[in-house]
Chain A
Amino acid sequence: EDKVVQSPLSLVVHEGDTVTLNCSYEVTNFRSLLWYKQEKKAPTFLFMLTSSGIEKKSGRLSSILDKKELFSILNITATQTGDSAVYLCAVEDRDDKIIFGKGTRLHILP
C-alpha cells in the first residue's frame, strides 16, 4: 500500500533556529514529491522534487530528495514566527494519483 510518513508530527522551536522536516515514502511508480505549507485552509505550494540530489531553494527554505532511500527533507533556516504552519509532504505517482502525509505542525516561539 502506498504511504507517505512525515516526522516529527509536531515541533516547537525558537525564532532564529534551523529546522529539518522529514518525509519518507513508499509509492509504486513514483513521479514527484511535493512540499506544501498550510497556515489556515488551502495549502500553498513550496517545492516539487523529481530528481535525487538536486537541492531546490526558495529564500530560507530548501528541500532535497533521495530516491534511493525514499525520503525528502525540508529545511528552514533562521526561522521566523511567520513560518509557523503545518508542512505537508505529498508524493505523486505516474497515474497522477497524489498521496499526502499527515503533516508536521511547526510552531515558532518569538
Chain B
Amino acid sequence: DGGITQSPKYLFRKEGQNVTLSCEQNLNHDAMYWYRQDPGQGLRLIYYSQIVNDFQKGDIAEGYSVSREKKESFPLTVTSAQKNPTAFYLCASSSRDEQYFGPGTRLTVT
C-alpha cells in the first residue's frame, strides 16, 4: 500500500523541549510539505522540499526546522523557540498530478 505515514498520532511535551515529528512516504514523490492547522486558520505552510537535500521556508517557518536527507522522509522539529507549538501538524507529498496528506500529528505542549 502506497501512502504517507506520520507518527505519533498524539504527542505531549513540556514547554522548552524540542520535539521531532516523523513523516514518511513510499509514493516516490519528489516534493514534501509540512502544514500546521489551527482552528479558524486553515492550513498554513511551515516548510516544503522539492528534492532531497533541499528545502524552503513556508509562511510560518520561525521556530521550526526540517531535514530532507532521504526522498522518503521529511521530519519536522518543533523547537523551544516556537511560541505557540500546540497544533495539528499535517505532512503531505506530491507529484505533478496528485497530492496526498498523512493522517496528522496532534502536538500538545504544556
Contacts and interface: CB of A to CB of B under 8 A. Distances in A.
Interface in B58-97: 58, 88, 90, 92, 94, 97
A96 interface: yes
Given A96-B31, A97-B48, A98-B33, A43 B42 contact: no
A41 B99 contact: no
B44 to A, nearest CB: 7
Size category, B interface: 20 to 34
Interface residues of A, number: 20
A25 to B, nearest CB: 14
Interface string B9-43: 00000000000000000000001010100001111
Q: Chain A interface mostly helix, strand, loop or mixed?
A: strand
Contacts, number: 54
A23 to B, nearest CB: 12
Contacts of B41: 102
B56 A42 contact: no
Q: Chain B interface mostly helix, strand, loop or mixed?
A: strand
B103 A96 contact: no
A97 to B, nearest CB: 6
Contacts of B56: 95, 97
A42 B102 contact: yes
B50 A96 contact: yes
A95 B42 contact: no
A103 B42 contact: yes
A96 B88 contact: no
Given A48-B99, A97-B48, A98-B99, 9 more contacts: A36-B101, A45-B100, A48-B97, A92-B94, A95-B50, A97-B58, A98-B45, A98-B92, A102-B41
Interface of B: 31, 33, 35, 40-45, 48, 50, 56, 58, 88, 90, 92, 94, 97-104
